A and B are shown apart, each in its own frame.
Chain A
Amino acid sequence: MQRMTVAKAMTECLKAEGITDIFGYPGAAICPFYDELYKSGINHILVRHEVNAGHSASGYARITGKPAVCVATSGPGALNLITAIATAYMDSVPMIIITGQVNSDQIGRDVFQEADITGSAEPFVKHSYLLKRPEDTAEVFKKAFYIAGTGRRGPVLIDVPCDVQKAEIDFEYPESVDIRSYRPSSKGNGYQIKRAAVTILEAKKPLIIAGGGLFSGNAAELMRELSEKLDIPVISTLMGLGAMPTDNERYFGMLGMHGCESAKCAVNNCDTLILLGARLSDRTSAPIMLKKGLTVIHIDIDPAEIGKSVAANIPIVGDISIVLGQLLEQLNNTVSENAVPKHDEWKAMLSQSRVDKGIKQVEKGFVNPKWFIRELNNYLPNRSIVVADVGENQFWTALNIELKNGRFLTSGGMGTMGYSLPAAIGAKTAEPNAEVIAVCGDGSFQMEMPELATCVQHNIAVKVIVMRNKYLGMVREFQTNHYGNRLYAVSLDGSPSYTKIADSYGIENMLVDSKESAKEGIKRLTESNKPFLLEVAVPEMLETIL
């Protein structure tokens, strides 16, 4: 038990949780905390807009698998974080958001920089606290980290009034935590596991859909084992990309509105669907909802996701790594060595459905983005982290990037533009030795451009690839296909030269507009150990699916 201010106690809580880096932006109402932060030894990364503190923490957390921390001041600072909080919530990313609040006795009186952040963020947080009683500090932090980092992961917000930060308390960080109303399930129901095992063994055309939960639950390896053991083909959601190496013979691509033909064929023809940590949004569930006579095994940590989009015949709620462990054990006990199913015909059918339209020649002075991403693959180490933004660039990347032991990050559920660079900054901070690449369009880049300064100031060697086509390409495509080709408010005329922007930050850069220059650009980008910006001239009217 030690006497200290709440502000100091907050830094002690973070240290006790193993936090070494945090992303933030200061302001008056959070100053007592910052005054302790600088003595704490925790590395603070100053972003250039609060929303990016949230996205950076998101990128960091997705790489470490543990809750990451972002900080902002009261009022506008806190409100600027909301899009990042919602983005993390939709993609089940564990995050702790610390916000300053006006003095307790001023709350509710519309004082300067006051905003009800716990109220405003309520729809997008797993839980939130307004820390009113200084003596609750340790318990609130302990609970917040526990809630964010267990069960279905998610953001937890702690709002701390300025006077509370200055108050003195006797501090001791609790070793354990028990919340009677929060006991996430871990083991799957034994009966359902048995049913699942029997169903999988009897299936003629089984199919695994790998979701983002495999990363949250650290269970990608177990999924690969299940696929290999029983010869089950795998397709992926956008969030599950990379759970199965993209060059695996049993991997048949990504499902979804912008997914590939082989994945669609797999869903349309399978008889048993094994959903692993995938909630199946409206962009992926449509073909499944229409299918009759399909047996669905749905494994998810959140009971509310089971039966929400797709009716499940065998629902299993639990921690995916534990449930997959149980399932593999059950299968081991049930199946004898010589009766292990083989699905050669099924796989052959799926292999035939693989469509590659090849690489189209583009006009002189431009680079085909599909070719570009495939070329980039040749230079990336096995453990690379590629963060795609939102729009056409997202699917040019998702559909063509090769992932072996690396990760692919993107804003899946929320589709938040301006995610890639700050998230890449977070990922690179979490894993400085990995090659971390942000791929964005010129629309999304202009939302996140100020973060180049963060890279320079904190020496974070993120590589940025700007697919410049002078359009909000995906919206333009939408207007072409669904609004009589009336292109409106989608031209990005007036945009700057991105290489000159990089120059002004002192960031190495190159503009590439041909295969030859692109190859050189990729080489320079991957060989550099500093931040690098590559502007890729992409033809203006290219579609998402190339």
Chain B
Amino acid sequence: MKHTISVLVENHAGVLARVAGLFARRGFNIDSLAVGVTDDVNISRITIVADGSDYTLEQIEKQLNKLIDVIKVKTLAPENMVSRELILIKVSCSPKQRPEIISICELAHGKISDISANSITIEISDSTNALNNFEELLRPYGIKEIVRTGTIAIQKGEAAVSVRN
């Protein structure tokens, strides 16, 4: 089962290595991992999507909490979060195919970020599932390269994963 875990950490050198190392040596599988600074420059947020049973999730949370640089750990409930991932996808595209691909892109609320004689690059931010579907739609044209950021997520409503609460 997939779990989306939001982790607040001290913004120190080496913290990411500690978190990633913990997952590796305890045999926890990471699907994606995204890091960025928060509104407080001393604190970074690591959003991890991990795969495992409820027992594994409990161990992940407890072991993360033991790392001294980890300030807060919260697993977000799937029905109560907004999760997004950004994808950059470069597809083979002859001038004749452009209208087709552009219309697919518009349907999916994507944006054309670059165009060349025989390729087109599209960016879309959406849920992981929606991005996977979009990727399938473009596959017949010939995908040259895909870059994904990994999922970031936030709780719905007023609740916040922050050091202030």
Which residues, 58 to 105 on B, are CB-close (under 8 Å) to A?
A: 58-59, 62-63, 65-66, 68-71
B66 with A304: CB separation less than 8 A: yes
Query: Which of A118, A130, A147, A303 is the one whose CB lies under 8 Å from B65?
Result: A303
A182 to B65 CA separation, bound complex (whole angstroms): 9
A304 with B71: CB separation less than 8 A: no
B63 with A304: CB separation less than 8 A: yes
B68 with A181: CB separation less than 8 A: yes
Q: Do A180 and B71 contact each other (CB < 8 Å), given the known contacts A118-B14, A122-B21?
A: yes
Instruction: How many A-B residue pairs have C-beta atoms within 8 angstroms? Tell me.
Output: 34
A180 with B163: CB separation less than 8 A: yes
A122 with B17: CB separation less than 8 A: yes
Q: Chain A: which residue is nearest B58 at the CB level? A: A307
Q: A122-134: contact bitstring with B at CB < 8 Å (1 yes, 0 no)?
A: 1100110010000
Q: CB of B10 within 8 A of chain A?
A: yes
Q: CB of A308 within 8 A of chain B?
A: yes
Q: CB of A119 within 8 A of chain B?
A: yes
Q: Do A123 and B59 contact each other (CB < 8 Å), given the known contacts A182-B68, A302-B66?
A: no
Q: CB of B148 within 8 A of chain A?
A: no
B10 with A181: CB separation less than 8 A: yes
Which residues, 101 to 127 on A, are CB-close (under 8 Å) to B?
A: 118-119, 122-123, 126-127
Q: CB of B18 within 8 A of chain A?
A: yes
Q: CB of A290 within 8 A of chain B?
A: no
Which residues, 298 to 340 on A, are CB-close (under 8 Å) to B?
A: 302-304, 307-308
Q: CB of A179 within 8 A of chain B?
A: yes
Q: Do A127 and B71 contact each other (CB < 8 Å), given the known contacts A181-B10, A307-B58, A308-B59?
A: no
Q: Chain A: which residue is nearest B71 at the CB level? A: A181
Q: Do A126 and B65 contact each other (CB < 8 Å), given the known contacts A119-B17, A181-B10?
A: no
| B residues less than 8 Å from A180 (CB atoms) | 71, 163
CB distance from B118 to the nearest CB of A (A): 42
A83 to B85 CA separation, bound complex (whole angstroms): 42
B14 with A130: CB separation less than 8 A: yes
A126 with B63: CB separation less than 8 A: no
| A residues less than 8 Å from B58 (CB atoms) | 307
A448 to B126 CA separation, bound complex (whole angstroms): 60
A302 to B62 CA separation, bound complex (whole angstroms): 9
A122 to B10 CA separation, bound complex (whole angstroms): 17
B62 with A123: CB separation less than 8 A: no
Q: Name which of B13, B21, B25, B66 has the most chain A CB atoms within 10 A of its CB.
A: B66
| B residues less than 8 Å from A308 (CB atoms) | 59
| B residues less than 8 Å from A302 (CB atoms) | 66
CB distance from A379 to the nearest CB of B (A): 43
B17 with A179: CB separation less than 8 A: no
CB distance from B40 to the nearest CB of A (A): 11
A308 to B59 CA separation, bound complex (whole angstroms): 7
Which residues, 469 to 495 on A, are CB-close (under 8 Å) to B?
A: none
| A residues less than 8 Å from B14 (CB atoms) | 118-119, 130
Q: Chain A: which residue is nearest B69 at the CB level? A: A181
A307 to B58 CA separation, bound complex (whole angstroms): 9
Q: B5-38: contact bitstring with A at CB < 8 Å (1 yes, 0 no)?
A: 0000110011001100100010000000000000
A307 to B60 CA separation, bound complex (whole angstroms): 13
CB distance from A124 to the nearest CB of B (A): 10
CB distance from A215 to the nearest CB of B (A): 21
CB distance from B151 to the nearest CB of A (A): 24
A308 to B60 CA separation, bound complex (whole angstroms): 11
CB distance from A108 to the nearest CB of B (A): 12
Q: Chain B: which residue is nearest A306 at the CB level? A: B62
CB distance from B4 to the nearest CB of A (A): 21
Q: Do A304 and B17 contact each other (CB < 8 Å), given the known contacts A126-B68, A180-B163, A181-B71?
A: no
B25 with A123: CB separation less than 8 A: yes
A127 to B66 CA separation, bound complex (whole angstroms): 10
**Can you list the 7 inter-chain pairs with the closest CB atoms, starting with the nearest?**
A304-B62, A181-B71, A127-B68, A182-B68, A123-B25, A303-B62, A122-B21
Residues of B at the A interface (CB closer than 8 Å) are: 9-10, 13-14, 17-18, 21, 25, 55, 58-59, 62-63, 65-66, 68-71, 163
Jot down 28 A-B pairs with beta carbons below 8 A, ordered by A: A118-B14, A119-B14, A119-B17, A122-B18, A122-B21, A123-B21, A123-B25, A126-B68, A127-B68, A130-B13, A130-B14, A147-B68, A179-B68, A180-B71, A180-B163, A181-B9, A181-B68, A181-B69, A181-B71, A182-B68, A303-B65, A304-B59, A304-B63, A304-B65, A304-B66, A307-B55, A307-B58, A308-B59
Inter-chain pairs besides A122-B21, A130-B13, A181-B10, 19 sampled, C-beta below 8 Å? A118-B14, A122-B17, A122-B18, A123-B21, A126-B68, A127-B68, A130-B14, A147-B68, A179-B68, A180-B163, A181-B70, A182-B68, A303-B62, A304-B59, A304-B62, A304-B63, A304-B65, A304-B66, A307-B58
